[in-house]
Amino acid sequence: MSAISSERPPALRRVLAQPIPPEGEGGFSRTWFPICLSADVPAGTVTGRDFLDGRVVVYRGPDGAARVLSAYCPHLGADLSVGDVHEGQLRCAFHHWRFDTTGTCVATGCGDPAPPRARLFAFPVQERYGVVWAFNGETPTFDLPDFPVPDDRLAIRTLELDEIFPVDPWVFCANTPDVQHIKALHGITFDDGDPDPDRFTWTDHSFRYGFEGRLPSGDPISYEIGITGTNIFYQSGSVNGRWFGFIMPFGIPRPGSITSFMVLAARTDDSGEGDTQEFLDSVQALEESIVDDDRPVLNTIHFRPGTTTRSDKSLNRFLHYVRGFPRTHPARDFIN
Ligand code: FES
Ligand SMILES: [Fe+2]
């Protein structure tokens, strides 16, 4: 008979690194967020989207440029996405108050003077690559990423994925510096060993690195990849020697989830139109297969930075970058 020890083993503790608060705590990342496709906003229409912890509307002003404004009418709170565009102004369906492109109420339906404080929040907006982008901040602090090919020599294809992933954008973006998963999950090999995080290019709002390697099919690749903000994946490179560009920005329709867009780019001077579209088909299939690899992990992950190894150095650096990335929420009182 063996004696039963009265001593218990020391309690097991999981080793955790400093956590990263979810988006929405202390505001949201001060970055450009994709709101919708340009094609979703024909002139004269209003469309509504959930954004951050609230809601916005998108429409085109008299100059044709897209605007993103808080969705709820300052009168009694009607959702302006059920309103219309009247003589270039956004008009509420409920009592016909009208707003100009800056969000200022310029007229009430009944003729009473517009209350001076009746206004909507107007986000800084850009329309680029077939996407309407809004900056979460009063003034943009950086620009969208550029491809190394002039826009007029690019064929662009843009789409929005149907699904909403249950993670913050930075969790998906943490894939990019996560060199271990690029090999293990995606089966990509590096020709010259793992990319060296000390040779990444970091700014206060982005990082980039390059490598040469092979896809699981054996096709040679040469990529420059990185993240802008905490939510925009950027890629410029080649498969089998032919250049393509790819941007995958993530939006926040509500805290803890993301919408995903794909911007695919090919050079128009590489070949004829039919061939360019075929090439874009192949790039789209390649990028969708990468998302297919990530999907089961991202749909179930409970992301908690824990025990890491030497090969996680670039991932750790990214997590540090995310922890320090500015958060803000100037539209808080308007969009919800
Ligand atoms: S709620 Fe919009 S005009 Fe009254
Ligand atoms: Fe991945």
Residue 25, Cβ density class (10 Å: 0-12 exposed, 13-18 middle, ≥19 buried): exposed
Assign 111 to helix, strand or coil: coil
Contacts of 146 (CB under 8 A, 6+ apart): none
Question: 96 C-alpha vs ligand 1 centroid, how far in Å?
Answer: 6
- In whole angstroms, give the CA distance from residue 118 to residue 123: 16
- What helix, strand, coil percent values describe the chain, rounded to 5? 20, 35, 45
Q: Strands, E, within 96-184: which ranges?
A: 98-99, 105-107, 125-128, 131-135, 154-160
Ligand 2: centre distance to CA 254 (Å): 22
Domain 31-135, architecture per CATH = 3-layer Sandwich (2.102)
Ligand 1 atom index nearest CA of 77: 1
124-136 burial by CB neighbour count: b if 16+ within 10 A, else e?
ebbbbbebbbbbb
User: Which one of the ligands is nearest to 91 CA?
Assistant: 1
Cβ of 75 less than 6 Å from ligand 1: yes
Query: DSSP states of 17-76 as a string?
Result: PPP-PPTBTTBEESSEEEEEEGGG--TT-EEEEEETTEEEEEEE-TTS-EEEEESB-TTT
Output the pLDDT for position 13: 80
pLDDT attached to residue 271: 76
Closest ligand to residue 180's CA: 2
Q: What is the pLDDT of residues 256-306, one digit of tens each?
A: 999 999 999 999 987 777 799 999 999 999 999 999 999 999 999 999 888
Q: How far apart are CA 94 and CA 72, in angstroms?
A: 11
79 ligand 1 Cβ < 6 A: no
Task: Please work out whether the CB of residue 78 comes within 6 Å of at least one atom of ligand 1.
Answer: yes
Assigned token pair, 200? 């990444």
Beta carbon of 71 within 6 Å of any ligand 1 atom: no
Please indicate whether residue 186, judged by its CB atom, sits closer than 6 Å to ligand 1.
no
What is the C-alpha separation between 299 and 325, in angstroms, rounded?
Answer: 24
**97 Cβ closer than 6 Å to some ligand 1 atom:** yes
120 in contact with ligand 1, CB cutoff 6 A: no
Ligand 1, atom nearest to 96 Cα: 3
> What does the pLDDT look like over 44-69, one tens digit per residue?
999 999 999 999 999 998 899 999 99
pLDDT at 269: 85
The DSSP element (H or E) to which 280 belongs, if any, is helix 273-298
pLDDT of the residue at 11: 76
Q: Are strands 105-107 and 98-99 parallel, antiparallel or unpaired?
A: antiparallel
Take atom 1 of ligand 1 and give the residue whose Cα is closest. Answer: 76
- Whole-number pLDDT of residue 90: 97
Torsion-angle region of 34 (φ positive above 0: left; ψ -120 to 50: alpha; else: beta): beta
Ligand nearest to C-alpha 73: 1
Cα separations (Å) of 138 from 69, 109, 228, 255, 330? 13, 30, 18, 20, 7
- Ligand 1, atom 3, lies closest to the CA of 95
- What CATH number is given for 151-327 in this structure? 3.90.380.10
d(CA 16, CA 207): 25
Q: Is 330 exposed, middle or buried (0-12, 13-18, 19+ CB in 10 A)?
A: middle
**Domains of the chain, residue spans:** 31-135, 151-327
Question: Two tokens at 236?
Answer: 């410029």
Q: Give the span between the Cα atoms of 257 and 274, in whole angstroms.
A: 37
User: Tokens 């059920």 — which residue?
Assistant: 82
Atom of ligand 1 nearest to the CA of 80: 2
pLDDT at position 1: 47
Is the minimum distance from the CB of 157 to ligand 1 under 6 angstroms? Answer: no
Q: What's the 247 CA to ligand 2 centre distance in angstroms?
A: 14
Ligand 2 centroid to Cα of residue 293, in Å, is 7
CA-CA-CA-CA torsion for 234, 237, 243, 246, nearest 10 degrees? Answer: -20
Phi, psi of 171 (to 5 degrees): -70, -45
* Whether residue 200 has its Cβ less than 6 Å from ligand 1: no
Cα 86 to ligand 1 centroid, rounded to whole Å: 15
Nearest-atom index, ligand 1, CA of 108: 3
Find, among 57, 91, 117, the residue nearest to 335 by Cα.
57
Contact 172, 250 (CB under 8 A): yes
325 lines ligand 1 (CB under 6 A): no
Global pTM exceeds 0.85: yes
- List the chain residues with pLDDT less than 50: 1-2
**Collapsed DSSP state (helix, strand, coil) of residue 157:** strand
